[in-house]
Structure 1
């Protein structure tokens, strides 16, 4: 990425005209064996909570991943990170990608799979049927591919993605990525603003007001 300071001002934005899909009649057998999952990194018991609403087909979300990884590496012991889906209608495969990530979560591979989707976004985003590529990724990550294929069709996983989309809409969100730090929507002009706000939340006494004292660097 040539200019890590510009992309912070770019988010994926969409106008909304209703639900992101219409539920049809789906066989309940695809729901069999599903477990409840949540997507948390860092210290699950930490008092500082960073929440992201993201879209797996959003280029800005993919570009933000190095900054997020740097934050988690630096502050993960004192930070709870939560991921939630906000698949924007402008991205034709965003719902399919979100459901695929939920299928991966059923095998304990949510972040491995979602990271791969971000890293290889250009491989699958333009495909007519990206599920074929998703299955290849699942196989590469050592998942049970037959189970993964089955759960790609699970209505409950689609319902979970829809519920998180609805939650984001109720919060008034219109673009991705959107971050909340301890329940407050983050406003920032650069990646360093993002870093500094989190540093101050994690350790107010040692994180100063200057932008370069967090000691965090990016792997761009």
Structure 2
């Protein structure tokens, strides 16, 4: 082999080795660093937004309870009377906020959330919220749409039905529901009901855990 050719082969081999070394170093450095936070990471997502629905206003400095709920969820239905008792007991002392989190396994949970949001646009969120939970056993687990049932609730609440129908058909209404869902997913919500008390996610074991968290938060204020 001619000296020039041999030298060229050696040089090429050295270049390849150096490129491999650089590649490995870069790869190690990348793996050793935490990835930058994405816009939807939990650290950048608020538990409550300015447009979140507040059922009870306790005023500035009051303990804030946020519930991610699914109107078709049996567990949410079981917690509903517990929540209502606490809202009555701590009326004027807590802020109570609800956020939509319809689960994909429930056929009518998204329809129910859209109905609630359409009612909210006419100042009747609380009325629809109560109707949906108090009649849950009548429509939940149905394998076909119950949107007509929810429309009947809107009529019973005395809503402007033309405005209600427009709101239900408007993609922006479903997008408002999806906003809560996306926030919940970014926060790590994976079941309902999920409660936050003053921004802290609760790990519920018993029904009275929610009240215990509320009273504990009050004591630290």
The TM-score normalised by the length of structure 1 is 0.72
In the TM superposition, 1:17-56 aligns within 5 A as: 38-47=52-61, 48-56=63-71
Deviation by residue 1:15-64 (Cα, 9 ceiling, x = unmatched): xxxxxxxxxxxxxxxxxxxxx95411222524211001011111110110
Deviations 1:99-142 (CA, angstroms, capped at 9, x unpaired): 11100001111111011111111222216231111111011111
Q: Distance in 2 between matches of 1:203 and 1:130?
A: 44
Asked if structure 2 preserves the Cα contact closer than 8 Å seen for 1:103 and 1:157, the reply is yes
The aligned counterpart of 2:44 is none
Aligned residues: 170
Moved more, 139-148 or 80-89: 139-148
- Structure-1 residue corresponding to 2:114: 99
CA distance in 1, matches of 2:100, 2:199: 17
- Cα offsets for 1:169-197 (capped at 9, x unmatched): 11111100000000000123211222122
Q: Which has the larger radius of gyration?
A: 2
3-state SS of 1:191 partner: coil
- Measure how far apart 1:204 and its partner are: 5.3
What is the Cα deviation at residue 203 of structure 1?
Answer: 4.1
Gaps of 5+ in 1: 1-35, 206-220
Deviates more, 1:94-103 or 1:36-45: 36-45
- Does 1:189 pair with 2:216? no
Judge conservation of contact 2:56–2:97 (CA < 8 Å) in 1.
no
Q: What secondary structure is seen at the aligned counterpart in 2 of 1:135?
A: helix
Q: Does 78-87 or 124-133 show the bigger shift?
A: 124-133
1:201 partnered with 2:221: no
Q: Where do 5+ consecutive residues of structure 2 fail to align?
A: 1-49
Deviation at 1:79, TM superposition (A): 0.5
Which residue does the alignment assign to 1:208?
none
Q: Distance in 2 between matches of 1:188 and 1:167?
A: 20
* Structure with higher RCO (Cα < 8 A, 6+ apart): 1
Q: Distance in 1 between matches of 2:64 and 2:109?
A: 25
Are 1:163 and 2:173 counterparts?
A: no
Following superposition, the deviation at residue 200 of structure 1 comes to 2.4
Q: CA RMSD in A?
A: 1.8
Name the structure 2 match of 1:145: 161
SS of residue paired to 1:57: coil
Range with bigger deviation, 120-129 or 153-162: 120-129
- CA distance in 1 between partners of 2:51 and 2:188 (Å): 25
